[in-house]
Structure formats: C-alpha cells, structure tokens
C-alpha cells in the first residue's frame, strides 16, 4: 500500500494520452496559439497602418503627446523581468529552489509595476478613445498588450505560489517553462508595440 501511495505521489496529471508520432499536442497547441496571436495583433497593426500611413494621420496627433520616456522606463522594467524569469528557470534546472522562488517573485513584482505604471499613464495621458483615431488605436494596441500582461501575471502568480509550495524540481518544472515562454512572448510584443506606437 505504501508503494502504491508513493507511486500515486510520483504521478502528475492524467495518464499520457495515445497520439501518433506525427505531431505532439504541445507543438500543435503552440502553433495554434502563435497563429491566433498573429491574427489578433495583426488586425490591430493593420488598423494602425491604415490610420497612420494610408490616411496620413499625424502621429501623435496635435495637441496630444506620448510619454515616450516613461514608456521606455516601463520597457526596461519588462525586459529585466524576462531576465529574472530566465534566471528562475535556470535555477530550478540546477535544483536551486530558492533561486526559482526569488526569480519568479521578482518577475511578478516587475510585471505588476509595469501594469500599474501603464494604468497610471492611461489616467494622466490627457486623451481618451473618443478623441479620434490616434487615441483609439493607441489605447487598442497598448490595451491589448496590457490584457496579455494581465494574463501573464496571473500565470506568474500561480507559478510563484506553486514554487513556494515546493511543486517544482529539477526533474519536474514544465509549468515554469511554459510560463517563461509566455512571458518572453509578452515582452517581445511590448517591444514591437513600443517601437511602433512611441518611437516610429
């Protein structure tokens, strides 16, 4: 009975499903996720292109200004958070549980700082979506990214809680890997949004 109980403790999740060797569910899921994100962000960038390039709307439209340097600081915070989540994953691969916990906690706090800073900027920016095409596409692009950051923070919160509960080890840390991939994706998307909306 003790052996069966030990086996039960070892097992994580449902039994391995039967599937062919042609494509694994994880890879197919990732392809579908990337395809859906390309379509989603692509549609908003297409709107940005038509507003700014095709219709020649001045960017930013006077008398509005964009907080370029606050957004740059925010970018630095988000980029640094990618380094900390990478450090967290490298730590648990070497069996360093406290490195994992510290990395995830730092990542979460920096992500939260990013989101709060974004919300404060929204409140102080001086325009809203009813003020024309430029403000609309600004809020749509940055807001869409903000929604992804919120989802990423939720995932990070679960990962951090599980890390502090000792769920991860050098052999079993798939949850950290997946969350790390998503967080890097969110970071890449923010760099693209920042360059497009604030810099170019």
Partner 1 sequence: MRNPLRSEAEAFRFLIAVIIGALVIFGAARIDTWLGVAAAVAAVAGIVWWLKDEPVPGAGEPLPKLTSATPPGIRRVLVVANETARGTALRDELERVRTPETELLVVAPALASPVQHWVSDVDGAREDAEERLNESVGLLRAAGFRVRGEIGDPDPLVAIEDALRTFGADEIVISTHPPGRSNWLEQDIVGKARQRLALPVTHVVVDLAAEQARA
Q: Which residues are at the interface with partner 1 (CB under 8 A)?
A: 18, 20-22, 27, 30-31, 34, 79, 82, 86, 89, 176-177, 180-181, 184-185, 187-188, 191-192, 194-195, 199-200
As given in the structure block, the two tokens for residue 146 are: 């903000």
54 vs 123, beta carbon nearer partner 1 = 54
Integer Cα distance of 45 and 138 in angstroms: 10
Length of the chain counted residue by residue: 200
Q: What is the closest distance, in whole angstroms, from the C-beta atom of residue 83 to partner 1 in the complex?
A: 8
119 vs 199, beta carbon nearer partner 1 = 199
Integer Cα distance of 101 and 82 in angstroms: 15
Q: What is the closest distance, in whole angstroms, from the C-beta atom of residue 46 to partner 1 in the complex?
A: 16
Per-residue DSSP letter, 129: G
As to burial, measured by CB atoms within 10 angstroms (0-12 exposed, 13-18 middle, 19+ buried), residue 70 is middle
117 vs 196, beta carbon nearer partner 1 = 196
129 vs 177, beta carbon nearer partner 1 = 177
146 vs 187, beta carbon nearer partner 1 = 187
Q: What is the closest distance, in whole angstroms, from the C-beta atom of residue 28 to partner 1 in the complex?
A: 9
């Amino acid at each position: 009975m003790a052996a069966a109980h030990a086996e039960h403790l070892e097992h994580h999740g449902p039994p391995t499903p039967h599937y062919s060797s042609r494509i694994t569910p994880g890879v197919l899921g990732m392809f579908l996720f990337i395809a859906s994100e390309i379509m989603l962000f692509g549609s908003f960038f297409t709107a940005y292109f038509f507003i700014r390039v095709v219709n020649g709307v001045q960017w930013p439209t006077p008398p509005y200004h964009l907080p370029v340097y606050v957004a740059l600081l925010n970018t630095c915070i988000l980029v640094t958070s990618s380094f900390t989540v990478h450090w967290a994953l490298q730590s648990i691969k070497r069996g360093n549980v406290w490195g994992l916990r510290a990395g995830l906690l730092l990542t979460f706090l920096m992500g939260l700082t990013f989101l709060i800073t974004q919300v404060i900027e929204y409140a102080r920016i001086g325009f809203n979506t009813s003020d024309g095409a430029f403000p609309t596409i600004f809020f749509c692009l940055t807001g869409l990214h903000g929604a992804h950051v919120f989802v990423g923070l939720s995932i990070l919160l679960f990962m951090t809680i599980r890390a502090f509960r000792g769920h991860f080890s050098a052999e079993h840390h798939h949850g950290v890997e997946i969350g790390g991939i998503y967080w890097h994706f969110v970071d890449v998307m923010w760099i693209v949004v920042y360059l497009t909306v604030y810099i170019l």
